[in-house]
């Protein structure tokens, strides 16, 4: 199963750690995590299910192509990392 | 007399407490996170804080009276736009107004006879209702679905927003909401139906034949209602000061106000409807104290005259701006608290005659209130 992990900043707000979950796209992997951590959804996606502007998703060290829908395919051995993008002021 | 002050800022939520003859900072919460709005429910003492995480969106937190920990609640969430709902564009930028929460901009209790009912105004213009102390929220479609919303536009933000919610103190079904920029909307049936009521407001820089007095596009920066005389409203509008004597259904203009009739904040005495306070600024895109002289203006005669108050405020040049939720009066009508964009916080305990500075080192202040 794909592996997904989260930056400490995210984990400081929502109790979620590294996990191996089902899914063949970035979005379906995230949906698997949301199933047991529903509050995480609102931290990463907006009301419309679109990735928040300042959330970055990386698969095997490369930013995903489809930022909005997260339809990028993933395979059994892929590693997904979710973090806050650089921003602020 | 109030003994606690709450302050929402660009970088957190702060509490000040009375200590002897002065005040001291007692606590800080959500440090580093913008807090555009908070609300203490006078019915049960619970405090609600909107924490607007720049990465993770807006979250809502509640601390009940007697508790010491914040509980995270689900924030208001817009439903998915139905396919048959019209696409509404911002009238100036022609950008679609999203069905998505951008900012919690107002929070109010739903009336003494409606325990647990809360109202929440948001950007991009949705009003939400909770019947369970903020545990869940529902978009008020009766207002959101009004076709006139196509005339609403953003003021200082990209999209329109509801910044003021006035629940009639004697009838919880009568509610007026202020929209920047969308006028004043009023319901008499608890939100089942709504009517525009910004009649009498106008822009001085838009000819009337070009829509300058169209109520649907007015920008009442803030509206407040006198609790002891609910017929009386005051509004600090984008161009002028306005007063209503008929529960906010029509408005009388006050334009000759020195040093300026422009500003954002207004507070009304809870028992004396003729007494109200404003914080003027140079209109309208400049937004700093006129000639760098920072004052509060007060009327005690219903707007027939205004006096500029400056005792205890900066005697040197100052460039503080006070946002629409950053001036508040307590339940006695004697104490005022005011916070500025440059991080200053002042208190007056004599109805504005004199002011004391608590600090000038806060982050930019968004909202203030005395806590019970």
pLDDT band at B4 (very low <50, low <70, confident <90, very high): very high
Torsion of CA B133, B134, B139, B142, to 10 degrees: 20
**Residue B200: exposure state from Cβ atoms within 10 A (0-12, 13-18, ≥19):** middle
CATH code of the domain covering residue B304: 2.130.10.10
| The pLDDT of residue B169 | 98
Instruction: Using alpha carbons, select from B127, B123, B128 the residue that is nearest to residue B101.
Output: B123
Reported as a pLDDT band with limits 50, 70 and 90, residue B91 is confident
Q: Could you tell me if residue A22 is inside a domain?
A: yes
pLDDT average, residue stretch B35-49: 97
User: Does residue B75 form part of some domain?
Assistant: no
Mean pLDDT value across residues B334-357:
98
Nearest to A87 among B54, B57, B101 (CB): B54
Interchain CB distance below 8 Å, B57 and A48: no
Mutate which of B31, B50, B52, B55 to disrupt the A interface (most A C-beta within 10 Å)? B55
- Does the pLDDT of residue B172 top 60, yes or no? yes
| pLDDT value of residue B339 | 98
pLDDT band, very low/low/confident/very high, at A88 (cuts 50, 70, 90):
low
Q: Residue B55: its chain A contacts at CB < 8 A? A: 9, 52, 54-55, 84-85, 87
Structural domains in chain A (count):
1
Q: Is A34 on the interface with B (CB under 8 A)?
A: no
Confidence at residue A63, expressed as pLDDT on a 0 to 100 scale: 87
In this prediction, residue B206 has a pLDDT band, given cuts at 50, 70 and 90, of confident
Q: What is the pLDDT of residue A89?
A: 58
Rounded to 5°, the CA angle B244-B247-B249 comes to 70
pLDDT in the model for residue A87: 57
Q: What is the pLDDT of residues B111-135, one digit of tens each?
A: 999 999 999 999 999 999 999 999 9
**Residue range(s) defining the domain that contains residue B351:** 83-359
Q: Kindly state whether residue A89 falls inside one of the protein's structural domains.
A: no
- What phi and psi, each to the nearest 5 degrees, are found at residue B14? -120, 145
What pLDDT does residue B156 have?
82
Assigned domain for B73 exists: no
pLDDT for the residue numbered B180: 96
If you average pLDDT over residues B24-40, what whole number do you get? 97
B11 in a structural domain: no
Beta carbons within 8 Å of B249's beta carbon, 6+ residues apart: B186, B197, B199
Residue A27's CATH number: 3.10.20.30
Q: What's the confidence (pLDDT) of residue B229? A: 98
Distance between CA atoms of B26 and B5, rounded to whole angstroms? 10
Interface contact flag, A46 B100, Cβ < 8 Å: yes
Q: Is residue B282's pLDDT more than 80?
A: yes
Which of A46, A54, A68, A83 is the best residue to mutate to test the B interface, defined by the most B CB atoms within 10 Å of its own CB?
A46
Domain membership of residue B3 (yes or no) is: no
Report how far apart, in Å, the C-alpha atoms of B144 and of each of B8, B97, B124, B244 are: 27, 11, 10, 25
Instruction: Flag whether A53 is in a domain.
Output: yes
Q: Considering only alpha carbons, which residue of chain B is nearest residue A53?
A: B55
Q: Measured between beta carbons, which residues in chain A are less than 8 angstroms from residue B57? A: 42-43, 46, 52
In this prediction, the answer to ipTM > 0.95 reads no
Q: What is the pLDDT of residue A54?
A: 86
Q: Indicate whether B170 pLDDT > 70.
A: yes
Which residue, among A42, A44, A50, would best test binding to B if mutated, counting the most B CBs under 10 Å from its CB? A42
Which residue is closest to B10 within chain A, CA to CA?
A89
Whether residue A86 has pLDDT greater than 80? no
Percent of chain A having pLDDT more than 90?
Answer: 73
Q: A53 to chain B nearest CA, in Å?
A: 7
Whether residue B49 contacts residue B70, with contact meaning beta carbons closer than 8 Å, is answered with yes
Quote the pLDDT of residue B372: 67
Query: What band does A62 get if pLDDT is binned at 50, 70 and 90?
Result: confident
CB atoms < 10 A from the CB of B80, how many? 11
- Name the residue range of residue A12's domain: 3-84
Kindly determine whether residue B56 and residue A85, on different chains, have CB atoms separated by under 8 Å. Answer: no
Residue A82 contacts B, CB cutoff 8 Å: no
User: From chain B, which residues contact A within 8 Å (Cβ)?
Assistant: 53-57, 59, 72, 74-75, 77-78, 80, 98-101
**Domain-located, residue B241:** yes
* pLDDT attached to residue B165: 98
Q: Check residue A21 and give its pLDDT.
A: 95
Number of domains comprising chain B: 1
* Predicted pLDDT of residue B152: 96
In this prediction, residue B173 carries a pLDDT of 98
For residues B82-102, give the mean pLDDT.
Answer: 93
């Amino acid at each position: 199963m794909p592996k997904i992990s989260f930056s400490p900043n995210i984990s400081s707000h929502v109790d979620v750690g590294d996990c191996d979950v089902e899914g063949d796209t970035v979005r379906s992997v995230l949906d698997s995590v949301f199933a047991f951590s529903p509050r995480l959804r609102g931290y990463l996606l907006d009301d419309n299910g679109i990735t928040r502007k300042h959330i970055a998703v990386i698969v095997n060290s490369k930013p995903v192509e489809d930022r909005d829908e997260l339809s990028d395919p993933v395979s059994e051995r892929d590693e997904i990392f979710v973090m806050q993008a650089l921003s602020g002021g | 007399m109030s003994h606690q002050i709450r302050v929402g800022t660009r970088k957190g939520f702060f509490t000040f407490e009375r200590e002897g003859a002065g005040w001291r900072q007692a606590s800080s919460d959500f440090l580093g996170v913008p807090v555009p709005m908070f609300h203490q429910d006078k019915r049960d003492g619970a405090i609600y804080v909107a924490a607007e995480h720049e990465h993770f969106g807006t979250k809502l937190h509640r601390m009940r009276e007697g508790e010491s920990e914040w509980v995270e609640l689900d924030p208001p969430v817009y439903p998915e736009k139905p396919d048959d709902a019209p696409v509404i564009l911002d009238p100036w930028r022609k950008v679609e107004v999203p069905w998505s929460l951008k900012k919690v901009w107002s929070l109010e209790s739903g009336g003494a006879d409606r325990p647990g009912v809360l109202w929440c105004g948001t950007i991009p213009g949705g009003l939400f209702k909770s019947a369970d102390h903020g545990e869940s929220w529902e978009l008020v479609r009766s207002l959101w679905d009004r076709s006139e919303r196509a005339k609403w536009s953003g003021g200082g933000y990209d999209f329109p927003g509801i910044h003021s919610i006035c629940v009639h103190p004697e009838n919880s079904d009568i509610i007026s909401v202020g929209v920047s920029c969308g006028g004043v909307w009023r319901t008499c049936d608890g939100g089942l139906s709504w009517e525009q009521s910004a009649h009498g407001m106008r822009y001085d820089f838009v000819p009337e034949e070009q829509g300058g007095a169209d109520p649907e596009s007015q920008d009442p920066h803030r509206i407040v209602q006198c609790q002891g005389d609910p017929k009386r409203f005051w509004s600090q509008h984008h161009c002028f000061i306005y007063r209503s004597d008929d529960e906010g259904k029509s408005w009388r203009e006050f334009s000759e106000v020195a040093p300026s009739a422009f500003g954002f904040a207004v507070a009304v005495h809870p028992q004396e409807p003729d007494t109200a306070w404003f914080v003027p600024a140079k209109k309208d895109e400049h937004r700093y104290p006129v000639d760098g002289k920072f004052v509060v203006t007060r009327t005690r005669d219903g707007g027939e005259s205004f006096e500029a108050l400056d005792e205890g405020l900066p005697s040197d040049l100052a460039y503080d701006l006070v946002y629409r939720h950053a001036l508040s009066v307590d339940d006695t009508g004697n104490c005022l608290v005011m916070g500025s964009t440059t991080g200053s916080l002042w208190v007056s305990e004599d109805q504005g005659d004199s002011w004391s500075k608590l600090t000038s080192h806060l982050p930019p202040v968004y909202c203030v209130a005395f806590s019970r």
